[in-house]
Amino acid sequence: MYGINKNFDFSFLHNLELISVHFANREVILHFGVDVSINIISSISYTNAEGVCTLYEEDLKPSAENLLSLLWQKVELAEPISDKILSLTFSNNVIINIYDDSEIYESFVIQKGKKTLAVV
């Protein structure tokens, strides 16, 4: 909705371990250690270690198997690759791209504890 602020530093996500994944209708929440979460309400892509990419639009439930494979993996790199895509590279060489693809609603929200750090 807003686009990704190019000056926002996503490095606080580096070395955080994914400890749980929650699924709801049209929503996925990734929970990391130290009380950090990313609430995703947009399209995502999953690129496995072999480079095969799968895009999930609108219905995120089919992404469950792939996202669950990221449990206990650490974020090695978190960076915007455009003003509409946040890319997370995990320690198992999987890449998740989160897209800001809504003109009306937030596409994702990053929270640390009760503090909202980014709304896109």
List the CATH number of the domain containing 17.
Answer: 3.20.190
How far is the C-alpha of 107 from the C-alpha of 40, rounded, in Å?
6
pLDDT at 68: 95
pLDDT at 97: 97
Domain assignment present for 28? yes
Domain assignment present for 3? no
Domain assignment present for 4? no
Tokens 């992404």 belong to 63
Domain assignment present for 29? yes
Q: What are the tokens at 84?
A: 């509409």
pLDDT digit string, tens, across residues 63-118 = 999 999 999 999 999 999 999 999 999 999 999 999 998 888 888 999 988 888 77
Q: What whole-number percentage of the chain has pLDDT above 70? A: 98
β-pairing verdict for 108-112 and 53-56: unpaired
Domain assignment present for 5? no
Contact indicator for 17, 73 with CB cutoff of 8 Å: yes
Domain assignment present for 46? yes
Contact indicator for 3, 108 with CB cutoff of 8 Å: no
How far is the C-alpha of 16 from the C-alpha of 28, rounded, in Å?
18
Query: Containing domain of residue 77, as a range?
Result: 10-119
pLDDT at 117: 75
Confidence label for 4 from pLDDT (cuts 50, 70 and 90): confident
